[in-house]
Structure 1
Amino acid sequence: MVPEEDRELSTLEMADSSELSCTGDYPEGGLRAWLVVLGAWCAMIPSMGLLNTLGILHAWTNTHQLQEYSESSIGWIFGAYGFFLYLAGAQAGPIFDMYGPAYVVIPGSVGIVAALICFSFSEEYYQIFLSFSVLGGLSACTLFTPAVSCVGHWFDIRRGYATGIACTAGGLGGAIFPLIILFAAPKIGFPWAIRIIALLSAILCTLACLLMKTRLPRNLKAGASIDFKALKDIKYASTTIAIFLVEFAVFIPITYIASYATHAGVNDTLAYAQIIFLNLGAVPGRFLPGLIADRLGRFNVMVLTSLICSVLTLALWLTAGNNIAAIVCYAVFFGFWSGAAISLTPVCISQVCATEDYGKRNGTTFTIVSVGALTGIPIAGAIQQRDGGEYQGLIVFGGVLYLAATVAFAVSRGICAGWSPKTKF
């Protein structure tokens, strides 16, 4: 006789499996798979949402808590957030592969809320650096890495689309958090605005802990935190170089577009709103390229989006001057076309490694990428200082980086799948 409890469990599993549209070994859909995507979405709002809020935080601290510091010095704070977010992937990836998401998501959830609360009390440079950059960045990684990896356990053919939907959270968070700061900070103060963000993050992280599940067998031999030996594989190495360059480039407009608008004579409210415009553009820019990439190839779409971001930066932003319409157009269009840099880059990694090693390879790549995230913002700030506060050199720097990323993705695609322009890869 089968116990009643086992019979009920079996019935639930059969009902769940009947909802899955199986393609090979991957469900590619169904209630459970999409609940995992929802959990990943909840985890990415606090982690990637804060990453996409760097511009307004940079502009605010530049005129308030840290007004006596140079652009380059302030840039190190916000570059360090991205650095620690990506660097900690070296640890979070293998832990995820071996033990599942709970061992990284729960500590990360507690950490991101604690970081925001500590940040709300911070006034000095070192306090902001330790609370927001170090604790916040490390905690954000333990939400971002398992979120992307969990989606990869449930989707293969539709992985770009599913990952893109989860990554819309970054754009949405990057719009909601600046709105909270923009409207709450002048009325109740900047510290309380940050505490509201902390409360919202706590609710979302709780949902993420409940919903994110793995499906494939755990890789108990994940072992090393950083798998640099994997770079001997030319396909993986070339992919990592391309991702390094595009992530190096993407943070420059995100961080400096608000301060550029202030420099161009735009009032503070509209200047800060550029971050909101950029992130609203990024919401469809996260999932639409993913949907197209599943049909036309992930690397193909990365080549296209990187090229368009380069053209937008060098042709539109560089010539915008104090034309507010041009600045807003750049923010929206760049937000849309740059979205693939977040949503598709992990999917590109998944195409050049085994799924059971996805967490480790993803962590290894973004550990290398963290150097670009750390240095890109302060280097751009140093260029601006050299130019006497003007932005032309900074903009050219960002545009050329995007052009280099375009070439790198094209070369990597050729190495991985051949040089025929008709190849879907």
Structure 2
Amino acid sequence: MEPHPAPAIIAKNAQPLACLESHPLELFDESEEYPDGGKDAWLVVFGAWCAMIPSMGLLNTIGVLQAWVWQHQLRDYTEFDIGWIFGLYACFLYLAGAQVGPIFDAHDIRIVIIPGSVGVVASVMILSVCEEYYQFLLTFGVLGGLSASCQFTPAIATIGHWFSKRRALATGIACTAGGIGGIVFPLIILYAAPIIGYPWAIRIVGFICLITGFLACILLQKRLPHNKKGGASIDLKALKDKNYALTTLAVWLIEFAVFIPYAYISSYAIAQGVDPQTAYRLSALLNVGAIPGRALPGYMADRFGYFNIMCITSFTCATFIFALWLTSGANEAAITAFAIVFGFWSGAAISLTPVCIGQVCKTEDYGKRSGTTFSISSIAVLVAIPIAGAIINTSGGGFTWLIVFAGASYMAAFLAFLVTRVVAGGRDWWTIF
């Protein structure tokens, strides 16, 4: 599943539109010409896709990793304790984006993408030999999260250099890499670990990260000039802008909600008596649904509005959590169905939140405002998984209240996007916003 550090995008002479009704899709227009296609632009999308295989692929593997270490290396620890490991990964993936953004703006992209690629590979290789709690915390949570941000942030930002009208589609296509990584990595752990052992299974994941990271370093390139004065930063004063503040709240809530099913679907199945191998496979199936769930909403959002699509997808996710996951019990077919449909409908939370931010601000402010939003949201992804684990612990190992909590969080996100859509885009439901 996938997060968003602060993408920094530079545009010249961006000006607010005089009239929203004449261009309902965007609050702000820009005079900068974008290729919006062509060989170079799509090679950049492929490079971004390669960068997201390690960074977002590992994020979408946390369900299997959490269930595995809970059963093996860290079986004496609670779900609450283990949750901090994976919460830290997601937190640093978001939080570091505000610092990576200015470096991306001011220098060549390889200044950040190369250390990020090396750091992710090192994190995975060290993870293969971790045994103690603090080792997992520092290796995967801290080193892995910081390094992944150095891959993901420039990947998203570079797409913004090449695409404008088709930005949501291009971003969604690149974000499918997280779903593919979330399929391949769990299956490697699931089928290779019993044969060659867990350490070598994790090392195979590391070799894949090495290859894709190398390709990302070659293919990703900026189009707009370096900007050493602007860029991403944390600017809390921007929250005085009502539309932006509401968008930040909506993003915070959706990022809080989306990681709970990703992290606990496999653990839930094991607790219901499902065979562990089948339970681990649920994480891969969830990401099978997530692949089209990242690309298709981007295609639809470019035509029907980013906030409109976010309202639909967040409400649908809440519905499936209450109607399908909450009632599935030990029914393996129902659990599997939920994993697939939730994977599809939750994809928009990964691919559309950056463009939602871009819709309520000038492009020249996009770096610092997205940096602020995702820095604030880093708190959400840090605490969501441990809080969910604490709910399980206080429920005596039961998952009912966890599921209710996840559904309520998604419903709150839906209401926040709905309010933002009405306030910023107007009450005409046919308006593309």
Return the letter of the residue paired with 1:142: C
- The answer for the alignment partner of 1:56 in structure 2 is 64
Whether the 8 Å contact between 1:299 and 1:413 is mirrored in structure 2 is yes
- Alignment of 1:243 with 2:251, yes or no, is yes
Name the CA distance, whole Å, in 2 between partners of 1:205 and 1:360: 26
Query: Mean alpha-carbon deviation: is it higher for 397-406 or for 349-358?
Result: 349-358
SS in 2 for 1:162: helix
Q: Is the CA contact 2:123–2:143 (under 8 Å) kept in the aligned structure 1?
A: yes
Aligned residue runs from structure 1 range 348-387, under 5 A: 348-387=356-395
For 1:234 and 1:150, the matched residues in 2 are separated by: 28
Structure 2 residue corresponding to 1:155, chosen from 154, 163, 178: 163
The whole-number CA distance in structure 2 between the counterparts of 1:94 and 1:354 is: 17
Match of 1:204 in 2: 212
Moved more, 226-235 or 236-245: 226-235
Q: 1:217 to 1:417 in 2, by over 3 A?
A: farther
Identity of aligned residues (%): 61
1:261-272 matches, cutoff 5 A: 261-272=269-280
1:195 pairs with 2:179: no
Q: Does the 8 A contact of 1:164 with 1:344 survive in 2? A: yes
Cα shift readout 1:232-257 (whole Å, capped 9, x = no counterpart): 22222111110100000000000000
Partner-residue secondary structure (3-state), 1:231: helix
Q: Which residue of the partner structure matches residue 252 of structure 1?
A: 260
**Structure 1 equivalent of residue 11 of structure 2:** none
Q: Give yes or no for the alignment of 1:286 onto 2:269.
A: no
**CA gap 1:309/1:224 in 2 versus in 1, 3 angstroms:** closer
CA distance in 1, matches of 2:368, 2:126: 30
Distance (Å, rounded) in 1 between the aligned partners of 2:108 and 2:257 = 32
Match of 1:87 in 2: 95
Aligned partner of 2:339 in structure 1 is 331
Where 1:318 maps in the other structure, the secondary structure is helix
What CA distance in whole angstroms lies between the structure 1 residues aligned with 2:370 and 2:95? 11
> Which residue pairs with 2:428 in the alignment?
420
SS at match of 1:215: coil
Q: Distance in 2 between matches of 1:128 and 1:153?
A: 36
**Deviations 1:197-217, CA, capped at 9 Å, x for gaps:** 111101101111111112223
1:369-413 CA-partner distances (Å, limit 9, x unpaired): 110101001101111111111101000000000000001111111
Structure 1 counterpart of 2:306, from 273, 298, 306 = 298
* Residues 226 and 100 (structure 1), Cα distance of their counterparts in 2 relative to 1, 3 Å cut: farther
Query: 2:149 aligns to what?
Result: 141
State the SS of the aligned residue for 2:327. coil
Q: State the alpha-carbon separation in 1 of the partners of residues 410 and 39 from structure 2.
A: 38
1:98 Cα shift? 2.0
Count of residue correspondences: 403
Deviation at 1:339, TM superposition (A): 0.4
Q: What do you get for the CA RMSD once the two structures are aligned?
A: 1.3
1:11 counterpart residue number? none
Out of 180, 203, 227, which is 1:172 matched to?
A: 180
User: Which one of 222, 227, 242 corresponds to residue 219 of structure 1?
Assistant: 227
Correspondence for 1:315 among 309, 323, 332: 323
Counterparts of 1:234 and 1:379, CA distance in 2: 29
TM-score of the aligned structures, taking structure 1 as reference length:
0.93
Q: Are 1:145 and 1:362, in contact at CA under 8 Å, matched by a contact in 2?
A: no
Gaps of 5+ in 2: 1-30
1:400 equivalenced with 2:411 (yes/no) = no
* TM value normalised by structure 2: 0.91
Shift of residue 420 of structure 1?
1.3
User: SS in structure 2 opposite 1:421?
Assistant: coil
Q: Alpha-carbon deviation of 1:157?
A: 1.1
- Kept in 2, the 8 Å contact 1:92–1:104? The answer is yes
In the TM superposition, residue 349 of structure 1 has moved relative to its aligned partner by 1.4
Mapped partners of 2:412, 2:308: distance in 1 = 15
Q: CA deviation at 1:355?
A: 2.7
Whether the aligned pair in 2 keeps the contact of 1:97 and 1:356 (CA below 8 Å) is: no
1:94·1:224 contact (CA, 8 Å) conserved in 2?
Answer: yes
Residues 145-168 of structure 1: CA distance to partner in whole angstroms, max 9, x if unpaired?
111111111111111111000000
Residues 98 and 153 of structure 1, relative CA distance in 2, 3 Å threshold: same
* Structure whose residues are more often helix by fraction: 1
Which runs of no fewer than 5 residues in structure 1 stay unpaired? 1-22
Q: Post-superposition, which runs of at least 4 consecutive aligned residues in structure 1 deviate over 6 A?
A: none
1:328-362 CA distances to partner (integer Å, 9 max, x unpaired)? 00000000000010011111112123334433332
2:276 and 2:103 map into 1 onto residues whose CA distance is 43
Partners of 2:231 and 2:368 within 8 A in 1 = no
- Higher-Rg member (1/2): 1
Secondary structure of 2:328 counterpart: coil
Distance in 1 separating the partners of 2:419 and 2:345: 20
For residue 26 of structure 1, what is the amino acid of its counterpart?
Y
Displacement of 1:100 in angstroms is 4.1
Counterpart of 1:343?
351
Q: CA deviation at 1:24?
A: 6.7
Q: Are the counterparts in 2 of residues 152 and 355 from structure 1 also a CA contact under 8 Å?
A: no
Alpha-carbon distance between aligned partners in 2 of 1:386 and 1:128, rounded to the nearest angstrom: 24
Q: CA deviation at 1:417?
A: 1.6
State yes or no: 1:276 paired with 2:260: no
Q: In 2, are the aligned partners of 1:79 and 1:377 still within 8 Å (CA)?
A: yes
| Aligned-pair CA distance for 1:102 | 1.6
Which of 217-226 and 309-318 deviates more?
217-226
Looking at structure 1, the residues matched to 105 and 362 of structure 2 have their Cα atoms a distance apart, in angstroms, of: 12
